[in-house]
Amino acid sequence: MPTTEFHYENLVNTVLNLYLAGTETTNSTLRFALSVLIKYPKIQVVGSTLSLLNSSRLFERGSPGRCVSCAVVGNGGILRGSQQGRNIDSHDFVFRMNGAIIRGFEKDVGTKISFYGFSTNTMKNSLGRYRTDGFTRTPQSPEINYIFIPSDLRDYVMMAAAVQGRVVGSGRDRGDRSYASFSNHYYDSTWQPLGFFSNHDLQMEGRLWEELHHRGVLRLYQREGGN
């Protein structure tokens, strides 16, 4: 069997490093990776776009004497009836993503949004697929920070245009365990099976979250179906 560094244990250690490393350590790592990437002409646009951003910090620590708590809220059906809304909103920062519908589900998912994450593809698909469920626009507020996740070179062009206030030329956009007991999303009016996509190994991702949960890095909300 050929040896490779791309294995599950290395993935866990990499994620642990990103969670536990200081901002300066992570920033230095990203800068080093960027310095290598920009040597290739095809992705010069990546370096030029990221150079427009003036900070790598997501937030400033408000109280140095205590840890910052964060809640990362997905859209899975496990949250329906969970009554986790108050617990979610009690965190310092709340991260949501894609088709994050709140209205009508406040008791289960809370109302607080500190960060909203998306890619061009997921935002476009969410606005189209979940409009009838209530997701008619992305969350908008001066208090919300937006995490744009580029998945194509065109996404970097769009990011640069947004920072510089320019218009983007038209063109085609290119996209990027007990789950069977729950509907695909908490806001589904009728039960829908979980969709698996070729660009996501959901079984592996689930094992990774469970591993981080068991190591005490994060607390993963879990329950059995029907409870």
Which tens digits make up the pLDDT trace of 104-139? 999 999 999 999 988 877 888 888 888 888 888 888
pLDDT on residue 43: 57
In this prediction, residues 11-39 reach a mean pLDDT of 61
In this prediction, residues 173-201 reach a mean pLDDT of 67
pLDDT greater at residue 180 or residue 26: 180
Residues 6+ apart with CB under 8 A from 131: none
Q: Where are the domains of the chain?
A: 70-214
pLDDT on residue 198: 61
Label residue 169 by pLDDT band (50, 70, 90): low
Nearest alpha-carbon partner for 109 in 137, 142, 86: 86
pLDDT greater at residue 218 or residue 6: 218
pTM: 0.59
Q: What are phi and psi of 106, to 5 degrees?
A: -60, -40
